[in-house]
Amino acid sequence: MKVRIAGVREAKARLSQMLQDVRRGREWIITARGKPVARLVPVARGGLSLEERIRRLEDAGIIEPQPREVRDLPPPLPFPEGLAQLWLQEDRGE
């Protein structure tokens, strides 16, 4: 299907019509002063796999990749039985 191009003013004035076109599968390129700045495309129906979503978040710099080697954690602190639970309840005001 043919890609259509619209300037910002036209896109603002015709957004409802453009969204109907997108629902039908058409793609719109929105320009500002003649330069492309955005694409209006249909949302993928199947959704992304968890791996793909994680990769995209890593590519965007939102999350960091998991380190290849996982270091062992130190052993838990030796609190008497139930003390940690008591502190947690006190902290919650229970």
Which sequence spans correspond to the domains of the chain?
Answer: 4-59
Average pLDDT over residues 28-56: 88
- CA–CA dist 14, 26 (Å, integer): 15
Position 1 scores a pLDDT of 59
Q: What is the pLDDT of residues 3-23, one digit of tens each?
A: 899 999 999 999 999 999 998
Per-residue pLDDT at 81 exceeds 70: yes
Positive or negative torsion for Cα 13, 19, 24, 26: positive
Architecture of domain 4-59: 3-Layer(aba) Sandwich (3.40)
- Residues 34, 43: Cα–Cα separation, whole Å: 25
Q: Count other C-beta atoms under 10 Å from residue 47's C-beta.
A: 9
Q: What is the mean pLDDT of the chain?
A: 88
Band (pLDDT 50/70/90 cuts) for residue 67 is: confident
